[in-house]
Amino acid sequence: MALQQNWITCCRPFIVNHDIVETYWKLIVSKYSEKQRYYHTLNHVTHMFSLFDEVRDKLSRPNLVAMAIFFHDLVYEPKEKDNEEKSAALFEEFSSHFETKHDRDSKAVYDWIIATKQHSTEVHRMPGVYGQDDLHYFLDMDMAILGTSDSSYKTYADNIRKEYIHIPELLFKEGRAKVLQSFLTVPNIYATEIFRRKFEDKARANIEAEIETLKIC
């Protein structure tokens, strides 16, 4: 399985005991396969890695970015508000098993996972400015779904609704529209040049179309 190989590869530089690597792989598969998930699944992780492969040569610390991809949605309970914190804590727990460990590296991954709570950095708020940090590439990979084809975006939106099925229809539409509108109010949905050129215009068109749908349905 390609995704499992990505996991083994990104663990290798940190010299983690084989049994620990296997244990956490099983945890990753189990968590991303939970019944409440429709979008935040292993398919999302796989999509991010397809983009990771495209920009790997632009990353300063690709193994750390790979770790962030695996752990960023490890905890996903739509009814809760601390998923990012719990996911980051699980990464912190895993990083305690690194034989080759630099605290600043572990903190970077922890902070990147927390950053997915807002997907907003100074670069996102500055017109005409591009980000080049690993964080910017990581966040852009996570948001890439917004700039995909009409059919892929619709599947994504439908799956998000399924994950929030516990919220009544009217409340969901109001909340979803508010979240989507917040993406349109910042100058840049994507921080890096490569992702902005590839996805920005389509993402804005997709978001505007979904907002209109939420209003009329």
**What's the chain's length in residues?**
217
pLDDT at 104: 80
**In 3-state terms, what secondary structure has residue 134?**
helix
pLDDT at residue number 133: 97
pLDDT of amino acid 217: 57
Tens of pLDDT, residue by residue, the chain (217 residues): 799 999 999 999 999 999 999 999 999 999 999 999 999 999 999 999 999 999 999 999 999 999 999 999 999 999 999 999 999 999 999 999 998 767 788 999 999 999 999 999 999 999 999 999 999 999 999 999 999 999 999 999 999 999 999 999 999 999 999 999 999 999 999 999 999 999 999 999 999 999 999 986 5
- What is the crossing angle of helices 134-143 and 193-216, to 10°? 30
Distances (CA, A) of 107 to 35, 52, 133, 191: 30, 21, 15, 21
- Quick one: pLDDT at residue 115? 97
Measured CA to CA, the distance from residue 183 to residue 188 in angstroms comes to 8
Contact yes or no for 108/64 (Cβ under 8 A): yes
Q: How far is CA 49 from the centre of its chain?
A: 11
Cα(43)–Cα(190) distance, rounded to whole angstroms? 21
What integer pLDDT is reported at residue 100 of this predicted model?
77
Please return the burial class of 167, using the count of CB atoms within 10 Å of its CB with bins 0-12, 13-18 and 19+: middle
